[in-house]
A and B are shown apart, each in its own frame.
Chain A
Amino acid sequence: MQAQWAIRTEGLTKVYTLRKQTHTAVHDLNLRIANGETVGFIGANGAGKTTTIKMLLHFIAPTRGRAWLYDIPCEQPRARQKVGYMPEQPYFPRYLTPRELLSAHAALAGVPAREAKHRVEVALELARADTFAHRPIGKLSKGMTQRVALAQALVGDPQLLILDEPASGLDPVSRVEMRNVLQALKEHGKTIFLSSHHLGEVELICDRVAIIHRGHLLAFGTPRELTQQTDRYVLVAENVSPDAERALRQVCTNVRRDGEQLVAVTDGERLYVVVEVLQKANARLVSLNQQRETLEEAFLRIVQNAPAVLPVEKAA
């Protein structure tokens, strides 16, 4: 029977102790990620994202709490049977070629020997790493190495992908390509757990977003649940005379011409004035939409509104 949750954590906590000083990297984390979901895991540097991923893959043991991957306790090797992992800043043996690396990872992932060669080629193609699969990894650029890392994660045809900053350090073109690959994987029904700083991309791809701050899960919901309506309105108008445009510039921001149309942003207080100006000038109001926060704005609001003192571990 298919497990309901791809990832489940209960009270997952990691406390580091160094010279009698304790630091809580992750505090009482409770996550439930359903099979087939794409979840963004966002937070500032040092918020606890990578520590959480390390605990899920059992690179480090939690101080308290437990985690399961497909209902199997994560400390058991078979919990990682359906998982593909792409590390942050991936490093691989420099003298191997991507094809050699993927062949080894196919064997490690338990891909049958007769299928391995085919799976390697499919993964290379999916990650768009097939054109440089014969070159030593040490001679590849950062963007190419990221693609090799993604191919490495895909070679076992995993159901769950845990991606730690997959677009880190990529140029804009490579980032868009990476986003397209993730979108395609999502459409193929893969569960994706994506830690990222690129909130615009998280908003585009993810079904739900978890915000972690100083080790605490502050919010977990769909982008629509996390973002709020703002007091900003975007209006589009036609037949706006130069005089009316000058008047609008007094009460609007981001005023620009888009062909025959004029686009401007205003706030709730000045909306009445804007409509009045348009009416007097006999201009036609094409559309008026209240703006929603971007995920980035919602993230900043949630983090800034977090209590200054969060519950932390007492000294061990």
Chain B
Amino acid sequence: MLRAFFALVKLSFLEAVRRQILHVMVLLSLVVIAVAGTVSFFDLGVQVKIVKDTGMVMILLAGSLSVVFLISGALFHDVEQRLVYPVLARPIPRGLYLSPVTPAHWRRYTRA
């Protein structure tokens, strides 16, 4: 059962991290962090702190947006697109399908 659980986690995780919205968010975060280092007008001599704060804000923002975009659509998308049927046809309890969706995305979130 644990193997089936981790197989589902891997399935959800791989599909989630390859979605283009994540690439856009990573790009956006890098651009904002890079810009933070070049703006000297507002740093009042504490540029390192500004860069660190911007980085932290981007981690929080990108992570939050990932969770919102990915988790909110994951289950709905799977049911709507009938992705769920081949999985439910396997000898696993129905509840097991629901459990990895959240951990997979949370794992991605904590790495953001």
Contacts and interface: CB of A to CB of B under 8 A. Distances in A.
B7 A107 contact: yes
Contacts of A83: 89, 91
Interface residues of A, number: 35
B11 interface: yes
Given A57-B88, A107-B4, A93 B10 contact: no
B4 A108 contact: yes
A77 B1 CA distance: 12
Nearest to A76: B91
Contacts of B42: none
Range for the number of chain B residues in contact with chain A: 20 to 34
Residue in A77, A90, A100, A152 whose Cβ sees the most chain B Cβ within 10 Å: A77
B90 A93 contact: no
A105 B15 contact: no
Given A77-B92, A152-B86, A95 B19 contact: yes
A86 B10 CA distance: 22
B111 interface: no
Residue in A59, A96, A108 whose Cβ sees the most chain B Cβ within 10 Å: A108
Contact of A108 (B8, B14, B15, B82): B8
A77 B86 contact: no
A104 B89 contact: no
A121 B67 CA distance: 35
Given A81-B91, A95-B18, A96-B11, A87 B3 contact: no
A95 B92 contact: no
A113 B85 contact: no
Given A95-B18, A95-B19, A96-B15, A89 B82 contact: yes
B19 A110 contact: no
Interface in B38-96: 81-83, 85-93
A78 interface: yes
Residue in B82, B89, B90 whose Cβ sees the most chain A Cβ within 10 Å: B89
Contacts of A103: 7
B93 A77 contact: yes
B91 A59 contact: no
A91 interface: yes
Contacts of B92: 77, 108
Contacts of A59: 85, 88-89
A63 to B, nearest CB: 19
Interface in A122-153: 136, 149, 152-153
Given A93-B15, A95-B14, A96-B14, A80 B89 contact: yes
Interface of A: 57-59, 77-81, 83, 85, 87, 89-96, 100-101, 103-105, 107-110, 113, 136, 149, 152-153, 156, 162
11 contacts: A79-B91, A83-B89, A87-B89, A91-B82, A93-B83, A96-B11, A96-B15, A104-B11, A105-B86, A107-B3, A110-B91
7 tightest CB-CB pairs across the interface, nearest first?
A107-B7, A95-B18, A85-B89, A108-B90, A93-B15, A104-B11, A81-B91
